[in-house]
Amino acid sequence: MHAAVVVFPGSNCDRDLAVALSRAGARVTMVWHKDTAMPQGVDLIAVPGGFSFGDYLRCGAIAANSPICQSVKAHAERGGYVLGICNGFQILTETRVLPGTLLRNAALKYICRPVPLTVTTADSAFTCRYEAGQTITVPIAHHDGNYHADAETLAALKDEDRIAFRYARNPNGSADDIAGILSQNRRVLGMMPHPERMAEPAHGGTDGAAMFAGLVDQLAHA
Amino acid sequence: MKARVYIMLKTGVLDPQGEAVRHALGSLGFDGVNSVRQGKVIELDLKDGTTEATINDMCERLLANTVIESYRVEIL
């Protein structure tokens, strides 16, 4: 499985994400934001966390309009797999690859701590190594993670089983406790928590590792 | 030419920052502040003859996130 990790000025989880993917068996290429095309034959594009372009204007808004994001959009539209974590999730909503948006946390505080998540669906390449209903612990680290969408979008996410993860105890005011959502074709996942920061014993837990193992396994056979 | 773009959260979208400002005004002793909404003002210095349609396009594609924000353009 060949994964591309996109690097923006201000990304700070790009290398953690590359390590998590390569430890799971993926071949990883780093792609700079000024590049206009993905390497040939990429199976997964991973958009990492951080503070792309200093969070200027809105989190992810400038990155969403950078040259490489046209390829991210095109890859998603072709039915390619995309994973956006934290700032990566914000970028995917700004590009409208995923619906809704991430508002300032309800308590206005930056929150950085491990949180319990409920795996809401196991029906995706990202979550296939988990059981639906399982609780895992993964850290969050964000100021703008309060998921917001109109009632119609929220109903569609629920009806189509596209909520991938919910917070077991809502830390940021997210609608319907949403921590991560899938695209309609279930091949794009955006989530605020950081599975790449809980992927080996030295991190204090390995609950995130199953996501990368599942992805490598599913996409190698795709 | 110059233009000013006013960006506000849409009605119904919770504005936690505005709410914090409202609380702070209350603790300063200002009574009767029923609600505070916080937005953004962006000033653009533009080539003469730039159409309002072009400025609207800038708002739609970058300056505002129309999922949660509305905007108003004022040509100065």
Q: A57, B61: Cβ pair inside 8 Å? A: no
Nearest alpha-carbon partner for A24 in A41, A6, A46, A50: A46
Q: Taking 90 as the threshold, does the pLDDT of residue A222 lie above it?
A: no
**What is the Cα A92 distance to its own chain's centre?**
8
Inter-chain CB proximity A173 and B16 less than 8 Å: yes
- Write down the domain spans for chain A: 2-220
CATH architecture of A2-220: 3-Layer(aba) Sandwich (3.40)
> What is the rounded CA–CA span in Å between residue B62 and residue A58?
9
A88 CB contacts (<8 Å, ≥6 apart)? Answer: A6, A46, A47, A48, A49, A190
**CB-based contact A167:A121 (threshold 8 Å):** no
Chain A residues lying within 8 Å of B62, measured CB to CB: 57, 61, 65
Q: pLDDT tens, B27-69?
A: 999 999 999 999 999 999 999 999 999 999 999 999 999 999 9
Q: What is the mean pLDDT of residues A99-110?
A: 95
Inter-chain CB proximity B14 and A106 less than 8 Å: yes
CATH of B2-75, one of 3.40.50.1820, 3.40.50.10610, 3.90.1170.50, 3.30.1280.10: 3.30.1280.10
- Read off the pLDDT band of B16 (50, 70, 90): confident
Q: For a pLDDT cut of 70, what percent of chain A falls above it? A: 99
Q: Are A177 and A166 in contact (CB under 8 A)?
A: yes
- Do A106 and B20 count as a contact with CB atoms less than 8 A apart? no
Mean pLDDT within A9-27:
97
Partner A contacted by B16 (CB < 8 A): yes
The CA distance from A46 to A124, in Å, is: 16
Which residue of A lies nearest to B42 if distances are taken between CA atoms? Answer: A57
Task: Give the E-state strand segments of chain A in sequence order.
Answer: 2-7, 27-32, 44-47, 81-85, 101-103, 111-119, 135-142, 146-148, 163-167, 178-182, 188-191
Please compute the mean of the pLDDT values over residues A128-152 and round it to a whole number. Answer: 97
Instruction: ipTM value, please give it.
Output: 0.85
The whole-angstrom separation of Cα A49 and Cα A44 is 16
Q: How far apart are CA B6 and CA B55, in angstroms?
A: 12
How many Cβ atoms from other residues are within 10 Å of residue B44's Cβ? 16
Question: Which pLDDT tens digit goes with each residue over A52-102?
Answer: 999 999 999 999 999 999 999 999 999 999 999 999 999 999 999 999 999
Chain B residues whose CB is inside 8 A of the A57 CB are: 62-63
The pLDDT of residue B14 is 85
Say what the pLDDT of residue B62 is.
Answer: 96
- Number of A/B CB contacts below 8 angstroms equals 35
Tell me which residues of chain A, numbers 153 to 182, contact chain B at a CB-CB cutoff of 8 Å. Answer: 173
The residues of A annotated with a catalytic role in the active site are 86, 194, 196
- The predicted-structure confidence for A144-181, as pLDDT tens digits, reads as follows 999 999 999 999 999 999 999 999 999 999 999 999 99
Residue B47 burial (10 A CB sphere; 0-12, 13-18, 19+): exposed
Looking at residue A220, what is its pLDDT?
87
- Domain positions in chain B: 2-75
CB A88 within 8 A of CB A48: yes
Identity of the residue in B17, B62, B63 whose CB atom sits nearest the CB atom of A108:
B17
Sign, CA dihedral A115-A121-A126-A131, equals positive
Contact A61 B13 (CB under 8 A): no
